[in-house]
Chains A and B, each alone.
Chain A
Amino acid sequence: MATLKKEAVMQPVRAVQIGRSPLARILLWVAVLMAVIWVLYPFVWAVITSFKTQREALEPTIVPFLQFQPSAENWSAELGLGARETTLALGNSIAISIGATVLATVLGTLTGYALARFRYGIGNRNIVSWVLSQRFLPPVATLIPFFLVLQRLQMIDTVPGLILVNTTFTLPFAILIMRDFFADFPDEIEEAALVDGANPLQIFLRVALPLATPAITAAAIICFAFAWNEYLFASVIAPKDAKPYTFLVASTSTVRGVHFGYLATRMLIAITLPVVLSLFVQRYIVRGLSLGAVKG
């Protein structure tokens, strides 16, 4: 059944047919090509810049070997053996993102399952709206109370402090993705297990959970990407020992002056992981980012 469902979603998308005229076709392809260049251009430019020395970075040259001699100096400065600061920050980023992802995915799967399978007096749609409405809140509004509370708990500049923050921000995505998955998924197998005398917890653990693996993976990836990208709270809550990579990147220009090649290298390290991971969750992006308003 799971495969049937998947095929129904993955079938080739129906689309408007292009006019027969070759001119229309060419124009369309030119437009598509321009769109792709427009999106990729800054990435490509950053990659080129990251292989330039400071002097070369001040020249608008593009072609390596012909126009400038590529050098891996920036990359080795950032990722080489002596780069303790980088290793530490990347380690923190990974610990924070994984911690938040695990917590948000576990909580999100439980709550998402609850909202898809059970009925609550308040009205399920009201609970879902309430959960998702958090994404509308300006983060600066909760920044000060978070700072004061974590200060009292002596959790400033700790990895658990940032795990707590990022779990809170990513939880609505996890709940939404899991609720949508279970709501779209036929509950006949679960009903059958109920008739066989299984209790709700057994049904959840042995029947529903194994079937939900793809959705859980997607929820985890999206949570991971958002936690990885978080900067605002990190800058306030973890300025030293628990500093994640985004915060290290943000302090670049003040440390070394504006060194373009080095900056480009750090920028690329910061964005690569989430951008690559996003390629695996295409089906969930539309729903996740539109907070459930549009089915992708």
Chain B
Amino acid sequence: MYKKSRARYFFLMPGVVWILAFTFFPLIFSLYLSFTNANMRNFTQATWNLVGFQNYASIGSDLRVGETVVTSLYLTVGSTLLTLTLGTFLAWLFNHDLPGLRIFRSILTMPLFAAPIALGFMGLILFNETSGSINSIIRGLGGTGVRWMTDSWSARTAVLLLDTWQWSPFVFVIILAAMQSIPEELYEAARLDTGSGWAVFRSITFPLIAPALGTVALLRLVETFKILDIPFSMLGGGPGSATQTYSYYVYITGLRNFNMGYASALAYILVIIAIIISTVYFWRVRARFE
């Protein structure tokens, strides 16, 4: 009776209407724009005409797209792998009976809430080639300073390392939660069979955290493909355009050069990827929402 009460729409609707108005309407508008030549060349009001699939056709011949995809893929794959490895290691580390676990966990989650745009500046300070502390450490250990700001792949790596620093804690908290839900009896049984910690990890812990790892990997993939703030504030997309990610390129095309129709088409490729990944994701986890 209560569960089906007519009042249920009163509670649900405000949020749903908001999402329809401010997420789904813009999304459909943007799909429409992707078939137009929308631009704001007069810098005051945008104008557009339908041009069919012309924008999508020009993506293939856009030489800039290739490099931005390479940068984005490097960051996406690199950051997903690094954060998963480091995060899992940290989770394993803190899953021992250490005193003060909660304090450590709080400290470790701090990077997650730092504004990425500010982190770019942190990168600028840390990775500075002459006075930055990272090159100082490398030199102190006998190496030669890395050209973080002037070499394309080093600059991409600096962005990758900053992103890894920020998001490893995310993997850490989720995998730690997964590890802590493993019943103690399983460990006790395993310890009777083997004395090796690695064997216990491989045969008990890993298989049981594997689903959570899959979930986190999907979230990381989606999140890193959006990266824009860190390269933006750290290097302005440079050196040259080495740290311009795909999202960054969409942003510049649409809102610096005001080529909005073409930018919408570029963005829609990302939307389709996002829809595919989110379908897989929620198909996996939606049973929890019943």
Contacts and interface: CB of A to CB of B under 8 A. Distances in A.
Interface stretch (B53-61, B63-71, B87-95): B87-95
B98 A225 contact: no
B26 A291 contact: no
Nearest to B175: A294
B111 A39 contact: yes
Nearest to B135: A60
A140 B254 contact: yes
Interface in B1-50: 2-5, 7-8, 10-12, 14-16, 18-19, 22-23, 25-27, 29-30, 33, 38, 45-46
A290 B288 CA distance: 12
A290 B254 contact: no
A63 interface: no
Contacts of A145: 25-27, 29-30, 33
Nearest to A249: B118
A272 B145 CA distance: 31
Contacts of A291: 219, 281, 285
Contact of B97 (A16, A110, A115, A146): A16
A289 B118 CA distance: 20
Contacts of B16: 111, 127
Contacts of B202: none
Contacts of B174: 286, 289-290, 294
B276 to A, nearest CB: 10
Contacts, number: 329
B231 interface: no
A144 B111 contact: no
B29 to A, nearest CB: 4
A237 to B, nearest CB: 10
Interface in B208-259: 212, 215-216, 219, 222, 225-226, 228-229, 232-233, 247, 250-251, 254-255
B90 to A, nearest CB: 6
A75 interface: no
B153 interface: no
B125 A46 contact: yes
Q: What's the interface size class on A, roughly? A: 35 or more
B267 to A, nearest CB: 4
Contacts of B225: 138
B106 A279 contact: yes
A260 B103 CA distance: 31
B122 interface: yes
A87 interface: no
11 contacts: A35-B108, A111-B11, A125-B287, A137-B274, A140-B228, A143-B267, A200-B8, A231-B117, A252-B121, A286-B174, A292-B285
Interface of B: 2-5, 7-8, 10-12, 14-16, 18-19, 22-23, 25-27, 29-30, 33, 38, 45-46, 90, 93-98, 101-102, 104-119, 121-122, 124-126, 128, 130-133, 136, 165, 169-170, 173-174, 177-178, 180-181, 184, 187, 197, 212, 215-216, 219, 222, 225-226, 228-229, 232-233, 247, 250-251, 254-255, 260, 263-264, 267-268, 270-271, 274-275, 277-278, 281-282, 284-290
Given A45-B125, A60-B132, A108-B15, 9 more contacts: A36-B108, A40-B107, A111-B12, A140-B250, A167-B22, A171-B18, A175-B15, A232-B251, A278-B113
